[in-house]
Structure 1
C-alpha cells in the first residue's frame, strides 16, 4: 500500500516537515571605549548682590579642581581659590574652568599652587580649557600660578574670554619650560578674547619637542625658560590708551586695537617673570 494519498489537487505524505532553524541571536553590543584620562570641570558664577558686594550662587568643582571662597582686598569683590585636589593634568586628561561674572559683579580668581603638566600612560595630549564670560559692568581678575611643562608631557591650553563692552579684565598667564635642569614637554597654548562681540586678541604659542622650528631661537624664546603675559582690558583705555614701552631687556608693553594693553615678558626663571608682570599690573590694572 502506498504512503501517498491523492484527493483532488491536494497531496500529502507520511514524512513530517523539517523543523524551522532557530533564529540567530544578534551579535553582542560592544560597549564604547571610555575616554582615556580624567574629565573634570569647575564652574563659577558671580552676581552683584544689590548691596555693593558680589555673591557666588554657583561654586562647584570636580576631581582635581576644588574651589574655595577667599577674602578679597575689596569688599565689593568675591574671591575664589582654585586648589589642586590631586595630580593633574596627566596625558589624556581634560580639565575645564568656566567662570561667569554677571552685570556689575566683581570676581577675583587665583590658584593655590603651580600646575604641573605631566606625561600619562596613554600617550595622548592633556587639555586644559578656561572659559571666562563678563557681562555689562563686570570685572574679573584671573591670576593663576605658573604652568610648568614637565619633560615628556603634552599639554594643550585654550583660554577663551568674552567681554561686554563695559567689562574689565586682568588676565595673567605664566609658563615655565621644564623643572630645574630638565628639558620641557610639548606645550601649545592659545588665547582668544572678544570684546563686544568683536575680536580683540587671538594668539597661539607652541614650544618644546614637536613645536614648529625656531621656537627657541633668536626670534622665539632666545633660550629663556620662563615666559608670561598680562592682558588688561579697561573701557577707560578707549579715551587714554597706554603707550608702547619696554620693561627691561625682554619685556614689552603693546597697546591693542581696542580698550586693552598686552604686556609680554621672557626671563631665565619664573620669579623674574612674576616681578615684571606684577609691576605692569600695578601700572595698568586696578
Structure 2
C-alpha cells in the first residue's frame, strides 16, 4: 500500500490500454484521483467510468495526441488550476525494422510521441510543481534506452533521449523537492507489439524475459512519491545492461543471437 497516493492527483498519458491503463487502475485502487489522456476517447471514457465505479475516486479524461503539440498545450491549459502530484509519461510506440528501410515519417512520429511530446507536456506541468516545491515525474523509458539492438535504431534512439532528458531534469529540480524517475522495462506483454512486431514472433522468442503489465505497474505505483532514480526490469536484462556500460564489445559479441530475436 502506497499511502502517499491517497487523495493525490495522477496524470497518465497513453492511458487507454496496456501499461497506462493498468497504472490508472492501480493508482485509483490506492485512493488517487486520475487524469487520463490518449488518442482514443472511447476507451478513456470506459476506463474512467470503471475507475469511478470500482474505487470511488475522481477520474477524468482528455483526448491528447502526443504528436499534436497544440493539443498538448490545450489540455495543459485546461489543467492550469489543477495540482498534479504525479505525472506519468507513458505514451509511446515503436517499430522494429532495419534503419535503412524504416519510413522516415514513422521515425518522426516516434520522436514526436516518445520524446518531444513528453518533453512539452513536462515543460507545461512543471511550473506548478516548482511553485509548490512538490511533485513526481515518472517517464516510462525502456531497456532499449540502455542497450540498442538491431531493428530498433529509431525506437532505441527515442528511449536514449528520454533517459538523457530525465537525468538532466532530475538534477535541475532536485532542490525543489521534485522527484524524477525513469522506468526501464524490457518487453511487456501488451498491444505495443501489435505495431512494433507485425510478425508476432518477438514475444515468443524472448520467452522468460517478457513482463506482465500488472507487475510493471505495481512496481511503478509503489515508488510514487519516493526519491527513486530508476526502475529496471527484468532483473536479467538489468544485469546485462550494467555490464554493457563497461564492456560493450564483449556483450555485443556474446549477445548476438539474443539481440537478433526481432
Fold shared, TM-score > 0.5 on shorter chain = no
Greater share of helix: 2
Which TM bucket (shorter chain)? 0.3 to 0.5
Greater share of strand: 1
> Which of the two has higher C-alpha Rg?
1
Which structure has more relative contact order (CA 8 Å, sep 6+)? It is: 2
